[in-house]
Amino acid sequence: MPNLPKSKSIPPDALLQAYAGKVRVRVGGLLLRDGAILLAAHRGLLPQEAPFWSPPGGGWQFGESIHAALVREFQEETGLEVQIGRFLHLHEFSTDKLQALELFFEVVAPEGALPQLGHDPEHTSDQQLLTELAWFTPRQLLQLPPAQVHPVLRMVLSLDDIFVPQTRFVELRG
């Protein structure tokens, strides 16, 4: 599937400073279409400006439900109005500077709706973390360096690996 338009390339210095040293709760949406999953490239997480591919989503804000947070975040990042489906994965994301508990849900978008790269309102236009949206099949995910793929999507051999809820807790660091 073709990739979607990229954002402008800008220096990643201090992009993650707002999130460093804090524990966050994040929600993410797994959108499937034509055998591929929609992912967003983030900058600032890996050396040499390598992209980090993750399902669209973001921080849960005080006063909103988990589902409302995911609808809001998905709309901000992709322009899509989604409906929330099944809860699929719980993941502890941890690096030397970032820590988050992540909740992943299946999402459904209207038939024929096309995602467009959005923005994060917490960042100025020259400090955006999102750089690109793209559709990936499991085979395409396996061809990427593992560090560039969110841990819940690493080593995915089929869509069942993503869309069949996991009942185990796995701690992955890095």
> Which domain range does residue 129 map to?
23-110+121-163
Put simply, whether the predicted model's pTM sits higher than 0.85 gets the answer: no
pLDDT value at residue 8: 45
The verdict on residue 57 lying in a domain is yes
The verdict on residue 3 lying in a domain is no
Q: How confident is the model over 121-144, as pLDDT tens digits?
A: 776 777 678 889 999 999 999 999
C-alpha 136/C-alpha 141 separation (Å) is 6
The verdict on residue 148 lying in a domain is yes
Confidence grade of residue 7 (pLDDT, cut at 50, 70, 90): very low
- Where residue 127 sits, what CATH number does that domain have? 3.90.79.10
Q: What's the domain count of the chain?
A: 1
* Of the listed ranges 10-24, 36-50, 80-94, 95-109, the one predicted with least confidence: 10-24
Residues 82, 71 contacting (CB under 8 angstroms): yes
C-alpha 103/C-alpha 43 separation (Å) is 21
**In the structure encoding, which two tokens stand for residue 52, read together?**
């980090």
Confidence grade of residue 145 (pLDDT, cut at 50, 70, 90): very high
C-alpha 172/C-alpha 138 separation (Å) is 20
Residues 74, 56 contacting (CB under 8 angstroms): yes
Residues 71, 61 contacting (CB under 8 angstroms): no
Residue 110 has pLDDT above 70, yes or no: yes
3/92: higher pLDDT: 92
- Tell me, what amino acid is at 151? P
The verdict on residue 92 lying in a domain is yes
The verdict on residue 78 lying in a domain is yes
Q: Which residues pair with 101 in a beta bridge?
A: 25, 92
